[in-house]
Chain A
Amino acid sequence: MYVKSLHLTTFRNYSDREIQPSPGLTVLVGPNATGKTNVIEALQIVTSGRSFRRPKWNEVVQWGADHATLAAEISGEGSDVRVEIVMRSDSSRLFRVNGSVKRKVSDATGILPCVVFTPDDLDLAKGPAETRRSEVDDLGEQLSKTYGAVRRDYSRVVRHRNILLREWQASDNDLEPWDVQVASLGSRLLVHRRRLLRRIAEHATAAYKDLSQGEGLSVRYTDRCGLHTSSLDDVIEADEAEKAILASLESRRNDERTRRVTLVGPHRDEIVFLLDGNDARSYASQGQQRTIALAWKLAEVHVVDDVVHKKPILLLDDVMSELDESRRRALTGLVQQNVQTFVSTTDVAHFDSNLMNEALIIESKER
């Protein structure tokens, strides 16, 4: 599957632009601030419903217009699918698949999964734990609607519960039903996340080995659910996790009251990268961190293929200049494995000429 065409209407700096990408490699070339990243963002929105820039949806609407439209023609097995997402100036969105209106974002997305790699992702290893958790959960949401629904419901429960703790000085009676929900949804999120992370970690370890010849990468998952585990090899069942969360909530109640926030549950869990057994947050050099990020993204591509038997599209926003020759090749090499790839860059010198000969080059000009 691949994106056959993309139409942007009053979306950010594009008034009306149609792009017909290559099924292989498409390179968007141009100086800064000409809208290359806007195309990458548009592709992510139209395939996954999300944007790595995390805008409010009215922010993508061109000034003076009352809505922005992204329409993609996705070539599938056999028939083509047309996905349309309208973002309005009141921040609401409308979704259409083959012309018929869909109520939920999840009904219009995930048809063709995508993996995005931006300069911000280079901090994956060292950044806050939240970044690594959402990295896993964002992928999970694309691969399974149940994963997405559990994640959304769980984070809503935590928000409700935090308000109870922070503003209402809630009684045990008031907290109790929310505890039950934290445990039942939290345990399911934990199981989903660990299962997916284990797959990613397996591929990332292999990819890291290929890229680095030397240190070995491993991934640890330290839970804050009272399970006291950090190995992804431990098999944890949802009902076991549910009991552990409930017990932890009870034993940490006073702590939670003092700090006025929910301290137990998968929203506090830690994902840690280790290089030869050393914590990458303090130990890894900048080069090693970048290799971890790269290995992770390569792993995501393989996991999508494993889980839903589809090749995702790969969106590389301005990361080529941040990587050296061999690492760039590892990324663009996926084109040969039928992964439709989009790259934005200010300088085509970052690519070898053989590759460029086969690529579709789209130049964006100074405005």
Chain B
Amino acid sequence: MSFYAAPIARLLEELERLPGVGPKSAQRLAFHILRSDEASATRLADAIIEVKRTIHFCSRCFNLAEADLCEVCSDARRDTHTICVVEEPRDVVAIERTGEFRGVYHVLQGAISPIDGIGPEQLRVRELIDRIGTGGIEEIIIATNPNVEGETTALYISRLAKPLGVRVTRIASGLPVGGDLEYADEVTLGRALEARREM
């Protein structure tokens, strides 16, 4: 049973569906919206609707895009010989922020995870292989997460891509560049030690 008037109860219900929002946060958000003026409530509602109406996946790399192609794919200055493969659109943002990468992306929309019912068919793996197949690609850099699922996805893709004659690399995981050893957690440091290379 709800103690709230029906419209508030409905708003609470919707807010609680959002990730990371529990009953208490939902209440806080709902009351903030109630207290604010109508114009700002409309701005919020419009922004939500607009993002749903205008944003879709880039037809080439499956990054978020406003037009048919995303901003990266439509930028003529990008190096299209190198594709960086990531799990989610937010990973594109993370790599763009480094300013180190001038190539293009391919967003898989997740990682292989049988526990969650996700296999290669549920991801944009086929599309990546097709992209490589059309030629002109020299290297793919696999930047999936350094966890069990990300590693498996990287292995899976590298087995498919290598026979196509492209260079396949994996971003190094381990110590953050510029980070002090002192602040690296033991697991990271342990992995970095185990994966040490001859110099």
Cβ-neighbour of B187 out of A90, A149, A157 (below 8 A): A149
Tell me which of A128-136, A176-184, A272-280 binds B: A176-184
Cβ-neighbour of B155 out of A145, A160, A163, A177 (below 8 A): A177
CA distance A145 to B191 in the complex (A): 11
A146 and chain B: residue at smallest CB distance:
B190
* Given A145-B190, A146-B187, A146-B190: A180 touches B114 (CB 8 Å cut-off): no
Q: Give every chain B residue within 8 A of A164 (Cβ-Cβ).
A: 114
CA distance A363 to B149 in the complex (A): 50
Question: Is B53 in the interface zone, CB < 8 Å from A?
Answer: no
Q: Is the Cβ of A160 less than 8 Å from the Cβ of B113?
A: yes
Q: Give every chain A residue within 8 A of B194 (Cβ-Cβ).
A: 146, 188
Question: Is B39 in the interface zone, CB < 8 Å from A?
Answer: no
Within 137-156 of B, Cβ neighbours of A (below 8 Å) are at 147-149, 151-153, 155-156
Q: Is the Cβ of A173 less than 8 Å from the Cβ of B159?
A: yes
Dominant SS at the B interface? helix
Q: Is the Cβ of A181 less than 8 Å from the Cβ of B152?
A: yes
Please indicate which of the listed interface residues B114, B151, B191 has the most CB atoms of chain A within 10 Å of its own CB: B114
Q: Give every chain A residue within 8 A of B147 (Cβ-Cβ).
A: 153
Q: Give every chain B residue within 8 A of A176 (Cβ-Cβ).
A: 155-156, 159
Question: Is B174 in the interface zone, CB < 8 Å from A?
Answer: no
Q: Give every chain B residue within 8 A of A167 (Cβ-Cβ).
A: 114
User: Interface size bucket, B side?
Assistant: 20 to 34
Q: Give every chain B residue within 8 A of A163 (Cβ-Cβ).
A: 114-115
* Given A145-B185, A149-B187, A153-B148: A177 touches B114 (CB 8 Å cut-off): no
Q: Is the Cβ of A160 less than 8 Å from the Cβ of B185?
A: no
Cβ-neighbour of B185 out of A107, A161, A180 (below 8 A): A107
Q: Give every chain A residue within 8 A of B186 (Cβ-Cβ).
A: 144-146
CA distance A359 to B131 in the complex (A): 73
Q: Is the Cβ of B148 less than 8 Å from the Cβ of A177?
A: no
Q: Is the Cβ of B148 less than 8 Å from the Cβ of A160?
A: yes
CA distance A161 to B152 in the complex (A): 11
Q: Give every chain B residue within 8 A of A160 (Cβ-Cβ).
A: 113-115, 148-149, 152
The digit string for A177-197, where 1 denotes a CB below 8 A from any CB of B, is 110110001001000000000
Question: Is B133 in the interface zone, CB < 8 Å from A?
Answer: no
Question: Is A17 in the interface zone, CB < 8 Å from B?
Answer: no
* Given A149-B190, A173-B159: A168 touches B119 (CB 8 Å cut-off): yes
Closest 7 CB pairs of A and B: A146-B190, A177-B155, A163-B114, A145-B186, A177-B156, A149-B187, A177-B152
17 extra interface residue pairs, beta carbon distance < 8 Å, beyond A149-B187, A181-B155: A90-B22, A144-B186, A145-B187, A146-B186, A146-B190, A149-B190, A153-B147, A153-B148, A156-B148, A157-B152, A159-B115, A160-B113, A160-B114, A160-B115, A167-B114, A173-B156, A174-B120
User: Can you list 15 contacts pairing A with B, beta carbon distance less than 8 Å?
Assistant: A106-B187, A144-B190, A149-B190, A153-B148, A156-B115, A156-B148, A160-B148, A160-B152, A164-B114, A173-B156, A173-B159, A174-B156, A177-B152, A181-B148, A185-B148
